[in-house]
Amino acid sequence: MTSEYHFRVWRGDVSGGAFQEYRVPEEEGLVVLDVIHRIQQTQQPDLACRWNCKAGKCGSCSAEINGHPSLMCMTRMDEFKEGETVTVQPLQTFPVIKDLVTDVSFNYEVAKTIPAFKPKPREADGTRRMYQEDVDRVQEFRKCIECFLCQDVCHVIRDHEDNKKSFAGPRFFARLAELEMHPLDTNDRVALIKQKHGLGFCNITMCCSEVCPEHIHITDNAIIPLKERVVSEFYDPLAWVKRRLGL
């Protein structure tokens, strides 16, 4: 008898749904996304999921696997115990569209509120020079594949739907940090980060950094430095006096 994987997959839409059980024959080297595809191909052609690259580069196949926000394409079946039931459900922070597909448009709306990159003038010889050591820290944030797992896990929005109006979420703190630390950028976003993007809501529980498939240190390298900038701009008495005096 060949062994089988045991899957519980959430099926449904905005009007409701339930977990359904599936059994799929085991094969060597599969990832969770492969098993979902096997279910589509052989049992339920209308089972909805997103995917593209199948190699952890595009951030499309985000889901919650045994309760843990993960990319389905990078979760190997041999991570589970023999006979363990694997439960796959859609991201819980965003409204479901169908089965494993959620409406992540919140993130695209936040992206529109971030003032764009605005470079300083070129150097005298017409070039733009940046040095690798300055570029490195920005490149860390630009590794982001926009899987939105950090947004999903962040309790500020996961547990409080209302906060979505005033909180950008970890993905966008990484984006803001990237722009603020860009050696050529001239825009100042610090007031916006405090007021509109609600950085103060974050109490650095580091859940976002833990789920990041790109291993970006969102809390340590993006959020904390941004908090420091906000503090020195708004709460440093010396800076406050200087601002009042127009210095």
Interface with other proteins, residue 111, by CB under 8 A: yes
Question: Stretches 94-102, 164-172, 192-200, 228-236: which one binds other proteins (CB under 8 A)?
Answer: 94-102
Among 25, 85, 95, 117, binds other proteins (CB under 8 A): 117
Question: Stretches 2-10, 48-56, 195-203, 220-228: which one binds other proteins (CB under 8 A)?
Answer: 48-56
Among 116, 124, 245, 247, binds other proteins (CB under 8 A): 116
Give the chain as a 3 state SS string. Answer: CCCEEEEEEEEEECCEEEEEEEEEECCCCCEHHHHHHHHHHHCCCCCCCCCCCCCCCCCCCEEEECCEEEEHHHCEHHHCCCCCEEEEECCCCCCEEECCEECCHHHHHHHHCCCCCCECCCCCCCCCCCCHHHHHHHHHHHCCCCCCHHHHHCHHHHCCHHHHHCCCCHHHHHHHHHHHCCCCECCCCHHHHHHCCCHHHCCCCCHHHHHCCCCCCHHHHHHHHHHHHHHHHHCCHHHHHHHHCCC
CB of 151 to other proteins, least distance (A): 13
CB of 161 to other proteins, least distance (A): 20
| CA 34, chain centre distance (Å) | 22
CB of 204 to other proteins, least distance (A): 26
DSSP 218: I
Interface with other proteins, residue 162, by CB under 8 A: no
* Interface positions, 192-211, toward other proteins (CB under 8 A): none
Interface with other proteins, residue 138, by CB under 8 A: yes
* Interface positions, 27-46, toward other proteins (CB under 8 A): 27-31, 34, 40-42, 45-46
Pattern of binders to other proteins over 61-80, x per CB under 8 A?
-------------x-x----
Instruction: For residue 152, give the nearest of 77, 196, 195, 207 by alpha carbon.
Output: 207
Question: Stretches 86-94, 124-132, 159-167, 195-203: which one binds other proteins (CB under 8 A)?
Answer: 124-132
Chain residues binding other proteins by CB under 8 A are: 13, 27-31, 34, 40-42, 45-60, 74, 76, 97-99, 101, 103-104, 108, 111-112, 116-117, 119, 127-132, 135, 138-139, 142-146, 179, 182, 185
